[in-house]
């Protein structure tokens, strides 16, 4: 029983400063709430200031919002500077913000949409990690968690920008993990499957049924289920886990049915 209490205690963040991007909705918002509940001080970065203000008012003094478009390097770095000024150096980063890129046949895909999707989904993660890692190196510890996708592992028709960017963030995560391991800085990539977010809630019921039929567990996952894994990977309980892609997908990626 004593050992069990000790292991659970490692998921109490004890005031650790964690920054979450894309934190105004969906996976990012749920993860931010769970982190605050577990004792973290959380900086939430997203574009919608009014939503961030509402969320932080609900979560209390251990949450602070910093409005920024992660696709704007100056705005993102300014938000990270403001977060560090408020709660101290960022000790863990959950780089979760992203775009879907839309679905268009490859030969008709808009190059500007491609560039913007890659900038938000991939380049912004590079910017954010490069900004926070020096303080982690100085502290001798840190954690980076990046939201990937099943598109990080497989191809997907009519969405070259999203697939390219999500393959890229997995590679970037692995590169960070290998280089930063001697500094006790971990980097991992979480792979959501079909998770019930606002976007999936808007699709017709018959389409939901088709999606659930593709999942070996025969259901979509919840943001809370993904949030639990995110909390683990950001915590000291995952101290020997780095360079990994961790799917929360009900078995989709291992299924021959897809």
Residue 208 belongs to domain spanning: 2-247
pTM of the model: 0.93
SS3 143: strand
pLDDT at 255: 87
The answer to whether position 252 is within a domain reads no
SS3 52: helix
Half-sphere exposure of 220 (CA within 13 A, CB side): 17
Measured CA to CA, the distance from residue 224 to residue 230 in angstroms comes to: 10
Q: How many domains does the chain have?
A: 1
- For every residue of 98-124, DSSP letters joined together read --------GGG--HHHHHHHHIIIIIH
The answer to whether position 256 is within a domain reads no
Task: Give the torsion through C-alpha atoms of 161, 164, 167, 170, to 10 deg.
Answer: -70
The answer to whether position 110 is within a domain reads yes
Residue 11: φ, ψ to 5°: -95, 5
Put the strands of the sheet holding 17-21 in their side by side order.
63-67, 41-46, 17-21, 92-95, 142-147, 185-192, 245-248
Measured CA to CA, the distance from residue 116 to residue 229 in angstroms comes to: 29
The answer to whether position 59 is within a domain reads yes
pLDDT at 201: 74
Which residues, at least 6 apart from 147, have a Cβ–Cβ distance to it below 8 Å?
A: 22, 27, 94, 95, 96, 98, 169, 189, 190, 192
The answer to whether position 197 is within a domain reads yes
pLDDT at 218: 94
Measured CA to CA, the distance from residue 101 to residue 97 in angstroms comes to: 13
Question: 58: which 2 tokens?
Answer: 């609900």
CATH number at residue 205: 3.40.50.720
The answer to whether position 253 is within a domain reads no
Measured CA to CA, the distance from residue 63 to residue 56 in angstroms comes to: 5
Residues in the chain: 258
- For every residue of 173-204, DSSP letters joined together read HHHHHHHHGGGTEEEEEEEE-SB--HHHHTS-
User: Could you read off the pLDDT tens digit of each residue along the chain, which spans 258 residues?
Assistant: 333 333 445 679 999 999 999 999 999 999 999 999 999 999 999 999 999 999 999 999 999 999 999 999 999 999 999 999 999 999 999 999 999 998 999 999 999 999 999 999 999 999 999 999 999 999 999 999 999 999 999 999 999 999 999 999 999 999 999 999 999 999 999 999 999 987 777 778 888 888 899 999 999 999 999 999 999 999 999 999 999 999 999 999 998 654
The answer to whether position 128 is within a domain reads yes
Measured CA to CA, the distance from residue 28 to residue 46 in angstroms comes to: 9
Q: Residue 178's closest CA among 240, 127, 243?
A: 243
The answer to whether position 78 is within a domain reads yes
Question: 80: which 2 tokens?
Answer: 């990270």
Task: Give the active site residues.
Answer: 162
Question: 114: which 2 tokens?
Answer: 């491609």
């Amino acid at each position: 029983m004593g050992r069990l209490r000790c292991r659970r205690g490692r998921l109490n963040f004890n005031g650790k400063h964690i920054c979450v991007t894309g934190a105004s909705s969906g996976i990012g918002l749920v993860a931010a709430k769970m982190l605050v509940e577990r004792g973290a001080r959380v900086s939430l970065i997203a574009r919608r200031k009014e939503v961030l203000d509402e969320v932080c008012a609900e979560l209390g003094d251990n949450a602070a919002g910093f409005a920024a478009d992660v696709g704007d390097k100056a705005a993102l770095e300014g938000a990270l500077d403001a977060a560090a000024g408020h709660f101290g150096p960022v000790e863990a980063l959950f780089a979760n913000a992203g775009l879907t890129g839309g679905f268009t046949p490859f030969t008709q895909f808009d190059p500007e949409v491609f560039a913007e999707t890659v900038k938000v989904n991939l380049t912004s993660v590079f910017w954010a990690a490069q900004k926070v890692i020096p303080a982690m190196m100085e502290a001798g510890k840190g954690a980076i968690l990046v939201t990937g996708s099943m598109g990080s592992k497989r191809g997907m028709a009519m969405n070259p920008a999203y697939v390219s960017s999500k393959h890229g963030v997995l590679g970037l995560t692995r590169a960070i993990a290998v280089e930063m391991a001697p500094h006790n800085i971990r980097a991992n990539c979480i792979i959501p499957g079909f998770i019930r977010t606002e976007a999936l809630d808007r699709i017709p019921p018959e389409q939901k049924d088709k999606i659930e039929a593709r999942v070996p567990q025969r259901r979509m996952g919840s943001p809370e289920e993904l949030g639990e894994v995110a909390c683990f990977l950001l915590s000291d309980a995952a101290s020997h886990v780095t360079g990994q892609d961790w799917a929360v997908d009900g078995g989709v990626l291992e299924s021959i049915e897809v």
